[in-house]
Amino acid sequence: MLEQLQKLRQHLLTGVSYAIPFIACGGLLIATAIALAPMTPSGPDFSHAPRLQLISDIGSASFALMLPVLAGYISYSIAGKPGLVPGFLGGYLSGQVKAGFLGAILIGLVAGYIVEALKKIPVSKYLRPVMPILVIPITSGAIIGVLMLKVIGVPIALFMDHANRALAFMSTGNGVVLALILGAMIAFDMGGPVNKTAFFFGAAMISQGNYRIMGACAAAICTPPLGMGLATLIRKKLWSVEEQEAGLAAIAMGLIGITEGAIPFAAADPIRVIPSIIAGSAVAAAIAMAGGVGDHAPHGGPIVFFAVDHRFAYVFAIVAGTLLTALLIVLLKLRSNGFAEVEEDPA
Amino acid sequence: MKIVAVTACPTGIAHTYMAAARLEKTAKNFGHEIKVETQGAMGIENKLTESDIRQAQIAIFAVDIEVEGKERFHGVKVIQVPLQDALKNPEGIFSKIQR
């Protein structure tokens, strides 16, 4: 059972890994076009700016391709090459019926498992060559098409619509609670599966036109390495020479939004480090959410500064989270001083 | 022992390369010869050749996503571990191999 779940996770993450660059391309191009166009009450006005319209159109195309790529590579991960046709078809149709990324993820999984089943059907060796080029693509494609267009597409689209509206009109209180959870998830395993779940939720919401979820994640992403790095600077004596070096590297990684920079510290001393970085990230995410921070790029940290709305709140959120993490870890280390100093950093 | 390895994580910008570095360092400590292929956001780097794989006694997959070109490893003993293992406890992987 556990192994099955791990496999499932691996398939989903494979799809995600191929989809992320499409979100980056789409999100940043659209954000650039919107930022440079004159803003009107009904949204940005592209009527006198054909070049910006062009940039925005290219970004939209990248978003539109994200769904087939996501579903296609989830299916590919399960069933190999023959999984691509029904996966891409299902993802494309998911966009057409407005079932979004949720529809794409589901149909990608279904497509992969259908192809796996079709591959197992015993056929005579004379028929075998036509299986991958005719029978499997046509059969699986037809099944997936009918499923998406006639069965699961519409209910998922309705659900997505509700969820989007609920998230868009979320009260500040609920939003902050959601941000606290997402921030804690981002820090919990520093780039592992829990982190990626929160991150992909934020990234996928960008393609749904909601930038605030990613805004909260973006602030949380950088505070673990920044906070640990800061901690090595303000209390040098608490850290080994190796850890002080790792601290500088962590600051560099934090600046470019790579949570993994905190891993050497967490690996050496998980019981004190992980709670400190969770607290910092959760607070950073909550402040970002409350301050209306939106992030148009599926990435975090100071490096996405120009893709962010409400930049002052964003900077404030990062500074607050970083300080909190640094102070917590220094206090925890001081309290148990003695053996903390002799611990070696394995990296 | 001659070892080949593949590392891959979903984002492919940090974990993949950190794990590769840890595996290389640990293999050296254990006195093994290792070549690590990274399948990150830049695609496949330090690609394992056919002869690399044929000469290896064992292949390590430290991955959170599907390995690209899995069929290349037919006929080689493969052990697959979550990428986190290569980061947190690379020694554990190698002592498992030796048994």
- pLDDT tens track for A39-50: 766 667 788 888
How many Å apart are CA A92 and CA A144, to the nearest integer?
A: 11
Give residue A4's pLDDT: 84
Query: pLDDT by residue (tens digit) across A30-39?
Result: 888 877 877 7
B9 is catalytic: yes
pLDDT of res. B90: 92
pLDDT band at B47 (very low <50, low <70, confident <90, very high): very high
Percent of chain A whose predicted confidence (pLDDT) is above 70: 95
Quote the pLDDT of residue A34.
79
Helix pair A100-120, A2-36: axis angle to 10 deg: 140
Instruction: Output the 3-class SS for A241-272.
Output: HHHHHHHHHHHHHHHCCCHHHHHHHHHHCHHH
Domain that holds residue B23: 2-98
Residues A48, A50, A53, A55: what is their CA dihedral angle, to the nearest 10 degrees?
A: -140
How far is residue A285 from each of residues A138, A232, A254, A313, B62, measured CA to CA in Å? 46, 23, 15, 11, 31
CA of A17 to nearest chain B CA: how many angstroms apart?
5
Q: What is the CATH number of the domain that holds B29?
A: 3.40.50.2300
CB A45 within 8 A of CB B96: no
Say whether pLDDT at A340 is over 60.
Answer: no
- CA-closest candidate to residue A6, choices A59, A77, A76, A57: A77
The per-residue pLDDT for A341 is 47
Question: B interface mutation test: which of A10, A18, A255, A256 has the most B CBs within 10 A?
Answer: A10
What is the model's pLDDT at position A251? 94
Are the beta carbons of A13 and B64 separated by less than 8 Å?
A: yes
N-terminal to C-terminal alpha carbon distance within chain B: 13
Q: What is the pTM of this model?
A: 0.76
> Which range (A184-193, A333-342, B34-43, B76-85) has the least confidence?
A333-342
B18 interaction partners in chain A (CB closer than 8 Å): 260, 263
Tens-digit pLDDT profile for residues A196-213 = 888 988 988 888 888 999
Residue A126 has pLDDT above 80, yes or no: yes
pLDDT in tens, A222-266: 999 999 999 999 988 888 888 888 899 899 989 988 888 898 888
Least confident of A56-65, A127-136, A141-150: A127-136
Q: pLDDT value at position A170?
A: 73
Cβ–Cβ < 8 Å for B38, B69: no
Query: Which residues of A make CB contacts under 8 Å with B?
Result: 6, 9-11, 13-14, 16-17, 20-21, 76-77, 189, 191-193, 196, 253, 258, 260-261, 263, 267
User: In this structure, which long-range contacts are made by residues A151-158, counting pairs with CB atoms below 8 Å and at least 24 apart in sequence?
Assistant: A152/A99, A152/A103, A152/A106, A152/A107, A153/A93, A153/A94, A153/A97, A153/A99, A153/A103, A154/A97, A154/A99, A156/A94, A156/A99, A156/A100, A156/A102, A156/A103, A156/A106, A157/A97, A157/A98, A157/A99, A157/A100, A157/A103
| Interface contact flag, A10 B18, Cβ < 8 Å | no
Mean pLDDT of all residues in A138-143? 96
Give the whole-angstrom CA distance, residue A95 versus residue A148. 10
Mean confidence (pLDDT) of chain A: 88
pLDDT digits (tens, 9 = 90+) for A53-98: 999 899 999 989 999 999 999 999 999 999 999 999 999 999 999 8
> Contacts from A33-37 at CB under 8 Å and sequence distance 24+?
A33/A59
Residue of B nearest to A17 (CA): B10
| DSSP conformational letter for A342 | T
The token pair that represents B16 in the structure block: 């993949």
What does the block give as tokens for B10?
A: 């979903």
Given a cut of 90, is residue A287 above it in pLDDT?
yes
CB atoms B66 and A10 under 8 Å: yes
In terms of phi and psi (left: phi > 0; alpha: psi -120 to 50; beta: otherwise), the region of A310 is: left
Per-residue pLDDT at A291 exceeds 50? yes
Would the CB atoms of B87 and A21 count as touching at under 8 Å?
A: no
Per residue in A149-183, pLDDT tens?
Answer: 999 999 999 988 888 888 777 777 788 999 999 99
Identity of the residue in A6, A76, A258 whose CB atom sits nearest the CB atom of B14: A258
> In Å, how far are A248, A298, A340 from A316, measured between CA atoms?
22, 20, 31
Alpha helices by DSSP H, chain A: 2-36, 50-79, 84-96, 100-120, 130, 136-146, 153-168, 172-188, 193-207, 212-234, 241-255, 263-268, 270-290, 311-335
Q: A136 pLDDT exceeds 50?
A: yes
Q: How far apart are CA A123 and CA A110, in angstroms?
A: 23
Confirm if B39 and B67 have CB atoms less than 8 A apart. Answer: yes
ipTM of the complex: 0.72
Cβ-defined contact of A267 to B10 (cutoff 8 Å)? no
Q: From the candidates B3, B6, B9, B63, which is the catalytic residue? A: B9
Question: A9-18, A311-320, B64-73 — which one is most confidently predicted on average?
Answer: A311-320
Q: Which of the pair, B30 or A165, is modelled with greater confidence? A: B30
| pLDDT higher than threshold 50 for residue A281 | yes
CA nearest A271: which of A203, A339, A321?
Answer: A339
pLDDT band, very low/low/confident/very high, at A346 (cuts 50, 70, 90)? very low
pLDDT of amino acid A43: 67
Torsion sign (Cα): A73, A104, A168, A54: positive
B56 pLDDT more than 70: yes
Flag if B88 and A267 touch (Cβ within 8 Å).
yes
- In the predicted structure, residue B93 carries a pLDDT above the cut 90: yes
The domain total for chain B is 1
Find the closest chain B residue to A259 by CA distance: B14
**For residues A25 and A70, what is the distance between their CA atoms, to the nearest angstrom?**
15
Q: Provide the pLDDT for residue A338.
A: 52
